[in-house]
A and B are shown apart, each in its own frame.
Chain A
């Protein structure tokens, strides 16, 4: 028994030594410092990728922070950051934001979005037209879109939110939001949106699909339920790519990091675990 114990300890020690040797052996000589700023929706993904990447390349330093989508490409333009994470393609014009010249967008993930309503709302399905009317303030009562009598409370994200830009482009086909009214409020983050929709009767809002809880209802849009399967087969349209913006084509450590996050190993592993959808799933 004693012999067995010491043998197993010795075996473990040998295994440890060899495995650490193999890690050192596999570690590349890549050096550098990568600064990432931007979207908070992409931050969990970035942090996870950074952790794994640092294990493979111990000489690369990565610091990631998030202050909102628009700060990503801005930091890149100012030279503060090497990578700007953003929820829309910032090299193109989108509603409210001009394009950032000279920046290259790299797709890193697919983010599904959902229109959500409070549990007390009887409506299960909304068409694009109905969503446009609700969020622009033309329809103000649930009974006009097939629900029971009750004023619609519209909860919106503040201007500049990546989720808002995506929802406006994909679910509302670019139509304007209302901005005033006694049944309208704005919230600061996806977390606040979740609380507001959960606790306010007759409320409607929108958020990343991963934030949807059992205390609210994600409605079907044009008779298609928001799910990964429907997104992948092309019937559910309300989703967006998450992008990494770089000044010109990236090189060195930055290039390697972007390639790592786009690699099928990361896309089908950690990225799926975080409930994002791999970019390769979209044809």
Chain B
């Protein structure tokens, strides 16, 4: 109490009308409190801006570097051959990446085909049907599943899923896009279902009440009211899961067979962009067309996942407006 009055007294001495006047007025010395504060504030601002610029620089230099190395491919290979030829045999100088581009999209589509209905059903169960004790148990379990390293999924796929597929279907190998899609489904399931779960949970209670009041059953309410209302949130989850599936490498490379041939059957060993890059990058000569072609494939992957992220952002904005 005594201290406070004395401090106020000192401020009042210098500038009686304004609080903090002593700071603004300064004492006239070169590095007094005012200048010091100004210096700290400016430095902090500069550090913040520099960090932000640094992040942008990193992203754009990665993009630029991948593109610059990748585009050298087209000195020796025509873009038409690269994108539409399915003959990938670098030892014979033919670089057709169509097999891998097609494989990537086929694998992602198949994964979504299996995982989206499953995840949405899980999300509906979590948000609408499960008793609260089960919900409180399942949500952390799903969150933990996201954290398992992908190589673990790949190894389980290789040692458990593939022999199982071989026994069930009677095929010789079991490697192929079906095996990869099943492994990826297990990986993206928690992502999609947890985000959808959140989206369904925030649908206002009045929508459901109105639906029940009109005489709708629980099933009708969920599929005609709740899910359409949570649509953009579910889409957000699907796209995030899809981005994860497209970029996944370790799990896929272990179960897909890594043979550069078109994925025209579920059990045919094939290759996708990620698996082919990781299989070959360690063994290619630097400065070769082969190396450049792998960089071009990496650039393609980067563009695809950046595109996904942009779509997610747009959906988010749309969701905010609704």
Q: Residues on A close to B: CB < 8 A?
A: 67-71, 74, 78, 96-97, 151, 153, 158-161, 179-188, 192, 195-196, 199-202
Contacts and interface: CB of A to CB of B under 8 A. Distances in A.
Given A74-B286, A78-B286, A185 B175 contact: yes
A159 B258 CA distance: 12
Contacts of B89: 179
Contacts of A200: 173
B4 interface: no
29 contacts: A68-B283, A69-B283, A70-B284, A71-B283, A74-B285, A158-B258, A158-B280, A158-B283, A159-B91, A159-B280, A159-B283, A160-B280, A160-B283, A179-B259, A179-B260, A180-B259, A180-B260, A180-B261, A182-B172, A182-B265, A182-B268, A183-B173, A185-B257, A185-B258, A185-B269, A188-B279, A192-B254, A195-B158, A201-B166
A67 B257 contact: no
Contacts of A161: 283
Interface in B253-290: 253-254, 257-261, 265, 267-269, 278-280, 282-286
Nearest to B268: A182
Contact of B259 (A69, A74, A186): A186
B259 A181 contact: yes
Interface residues of B, number: 30
Nearest to B163: A199
Given A180-B259, A181-B261, 6 more contacts: A70-B284, A180-B260, A182-B268, A185-B175, A186-B257, A201-B166
B90 interface: yes
B162 interface: yes
B159 interface: yes
Contacts of B282: 67-68, 71, 160
B250 to A, nearest CB: 10
A188 B269 contact: no
B262 to A, nearest CB: 10
